[in-house]
Amino acid sequence: MTKKKAPTYRTVAYRCPACGTVIGQQVPPAGELWDTLRSCDQCRVQHFVLSDNDTLVVKVSFTALERVSRRRA
């Protein structure tokens, strides 16, 4: 029996929209669109990541950013 290899994915790094921490994200195969709700390990701000094989879009809610800035003050 031959062992099946797990699929390998490219990764891309982006910065957290709130604190700038570098976060890694897998890049989906061509023709697929992935959506992910992530939270930063450093500041805990949740953000939404949309990615396809060519593009990475990061969205964050302003209320989450307001909470972080209040904690820092």
Tell me the pLDDT band of 5, cut-offs 50, 70 and 90: confident
Expressed as residue numbers, the domain containing 54 is 29-73
The tally of domains found in the chain comes to: 1
Q: Is residue 18 part of a domain?
A: no
Task: Find all residues with CB under 8 Å of 22, minimum gap 6, and list them.
Answer: 13, 14, 15, 16
Reported as a single tens digit per residue, the pLDDT across 18-50 is 889 999 988 888 899 999 888 899 988 888 888
pTM comes to 0.67
Sign of CA dihedral 59, 18, 69, 64: positive
Percentage of the chain beyond pLDDT 70 is 79
Q: Cα separation of 46 and 39, whole Å?
A: 4
Q: Is residue 10 part of a domain?
A: no
Q: Is residue 34 part of a domain?
A: yes
Q: Is residue 67 part of a domain?
A: yes
Q: Would the pLDDT of 65 be above 70? A: no
